[in-house]
Structure 1
Amino acid sequence: MEVVRADALSGVPHGFLGRRGGVSQGVVAGLNVGLGSADDPVAVAENRRRAGDAVLPGAALCGLFQIHSASVVRVLTAFRDDDRPRGDAMVTDRPGILLGIVTADCAPVLFADMAAGVIGAAHAGWKGALDGVTDATIAQMETLGAQAGRIVAAIGPCIARASYEVDMTFVERFAAADPANERFFAENRPGHARFDLEAYVAARLAAAGVRRVEALGLDTCAEPDRFFSYRRATQRGEADYGRQLSAIGLAG
């Protein structure tokens, strides 16, 4: 099992996991933790157990029914996978709870204010990122005593600009929100561009007052042996795709 950790979050139990080390088979072979996949539920449950224990053994892994939104859930008590709320980010100040985000190209973002003992996790696809899911996560952390200037954040494996081709309607949507967003796009073939999701998320975090942002620079689409990728699975015409876990918790 591969667990990637960020220097910025040193001292806080966390990890960005990929597809290595799980029990799933077929096109989702490996550590598929996606409850929404067509994978064997028994395999997914075992993968989620393994992934959670690799980050914070014995903690209750809490996830969301992710909907590509800017909605943030404050987690006060652990909940089961079959009772997970809808949303795309979570915050907590409770020890023993592991906040888990699943992705397959979208950007997972883990947050911590170590002085306040407050953590957060966000699923930032292009829509959630544009709608402000990271800003909303920071705001919710502040209600628990965190301060934006003390928060550190790490952006885990996600689709990189070299792999992320979009059409001009997509570019125009971002430019309409802020003309400065054009800097996150690179020219490509006529009528298309390549989008740097990681850089966009990092810029949103910095603009919200986060002084230390670590971007891991790992491209999910380009490394099939390490990561699941929705875009890669779609390009290959595969019937399903796996999801990987990014998680952060507070030790008891």
Structure 2
Amino acid sequence: MTLEILRSDLLSGVEHGFFTRKGGASSGIFAGLNCGTGSSDQADAVSTNRDRVAAAMGGPLRAVHQVHSADAVTVDGPQPDPRPQADALATATPGEVLTILTADCQPVLFHDPEGVIGAAHAGWKGALGGVLEATVDAMEALGADRARIRAAIGPSISQRAYEVGPEFLDRFLAEDPDAQHHFANGTGDRYQFDLIGYGLRRLRAAGVQAEWTGHCTYSDPARFYSFRRTTHAGEADYGRLISAIRL
């Protein structure tokens, strides 16, 4: 099956892609393009899937060990082993392919047309902690200008599928009072959180032009993996989607 690669018009000047689960070698609950080396999927299948993405992007994949942090690293040499613990990457080196894995969290790809790219994994914890701004800062340290940077948020969990409790709301408001605009009343004491809207606001407040591709991971199981959907279904594990950008 052919790989399905979603792209953003905002990043039309750079090779990039938000890969769906279509076109992969994994089977069972991981069926498709599972690129998560930390999943319990067969290692050979994951390796094959990542090789297919590398071929599509035209180069080896660079990655970090994602830990829901606000840390960004600069890619300017060989891939460290083990991979650094961080949730964003930036580079000004031509040919580098930066990648992020997600399964509901926001994959965010960044581009400054003058020759700097970035990629970030922004779940609620990372977004609240400032991983998006950290990515912009790392890009500026490489010569980017936030006034030129464009960012696209790929397939992520949408507000209608993201139910949270009152303690979640309290934590956000304690650190970012303006976040109240991204919560809607749900059933009982529950709320629906707009992670994507929150990410867009943080990016735009940082001076970056940004958009969302419009795809919800939870509501489209044929195309996307979803941690929350897997949890609701009582499944043992879940696949990880990969997003990539090449300078």
Shift of 1:83: 2.8
Task: Give 1:1-252 correspondences, 5 Å limit.
Answer: 1-54=3-56, 56-57=57-58, 59-79=59-79, 83-115=82-114, 117-210=115-208, 212-250=209-247
Residue segments in structure 2 that go unaligned for 5+ positions in a row: none
Return the alpha-carbon distance in structure 1 between the equivalents of residues 152 and 133 of structure 2. Answer: 14
How far off is 1:125 after superposition?
A: 0.4
1:61, CA displacement in angstroms? 0.3
**Alpha-carbon deviations, 1:202-228, whole Å to 9, x = none?**
000001111x21111211011000000
TM-score by length of 2: 0.97
Alpha-carbon distance between aligned partners in 2 of 1:136 and 1:214, rounded to the nearest angstrom:
18
Cα-Cα RMSD: 0.9
Q: Give % identity.
A: 52
Q: Is the 8 A contact 1:78 1:97 kept in 2?
A: no
1:27 is displaced (CA, Å) by: 0.3
Whether the 8 Å CA contact 1:60–1:78 is kept in 2: the answer is: no
Tell me the SS of whatever aligns to 2:238: coil
4+ aligned runs moved over 3 Å, structure 1: none
Number of aligned residues: 245
Check whether the contact 1:62–1:78 (CA below 8 A) recurs between aligned residues.
no
Query: C-alpha distance in 2, partners of 1:178/1:235?
Result: 29
Query: Does the 8 A contact of 1:61 with 1:97 survive in 2?
Result: yes
TM-score (norm: length of structure 1): 0.95
C-alpha distance after superposition, 1:51-106 (max 9, x if no partner)? 2222x22x1201111000001110002417x5321100000011121000000000
Q: Distance in 2 between matches of 1:213 and 1:149?
A: 11
SS at match of 2:139: helix
Conserved in 2, the CA contact under 8 Å of 1:156 and 1:218? yes
Q: In 1, distance between residues paired with 2:137 and 2:220?
A: 34
Structure 1: how far apart are the matches of 2:74 and 2:41? 29
Shift of residue 176, structure 1, vs aligned partner: 1.2
Residue 188 of structure 1: how far off its partner (Å):
0.4
